[in-house]
Amino acid sequence: MTFTRESINNMHMRQLEHVARQLGARETAVKSMATRRKWVERANNANYRNEADRIRGELSHFRGPTTDKKRLEDRASYLESLFSSGNV
């Protein structure tokens, strides 16, 4: 098979186009993963806040064994430490 200058240039152009498509796909995947990570983090934050609100509500109307109350207070203090350190 003989190669002309034009056929070699066409091969190079196809390779460059292929690399450009791969880079575009990789950028899209990275953006997609970053967006998903933000969504999951936001959902986790909401879950922690909802749990803290639920525990505060239970403690304000608590009528049960003291061991359960102690466990709820410990969890509430742990969640407050997460909020105050900026993790949530």
Q: Which domain holds residue 23?
A: 5-85
What mean pLDDT comes out for the span 19-46?
Answer: 93
- Quote the pLDDT of residue 20: 84
Q: How does the average pLDDT of the chain come out, rounded?
A: 86
The pLDDT > 90 percentage for the chain reads 44
Distance of CA 24 to the CA centre of its chain: 22
pTM higher than 0.85 for the full model? Answer: no
Give per-residue pLDDT as tens, 54-74: 999 988 887 777 778 889 999
Q: Are 75 and 48 in contact (CB under 8 A)?
A: no
| Count: domains in the chain | 1
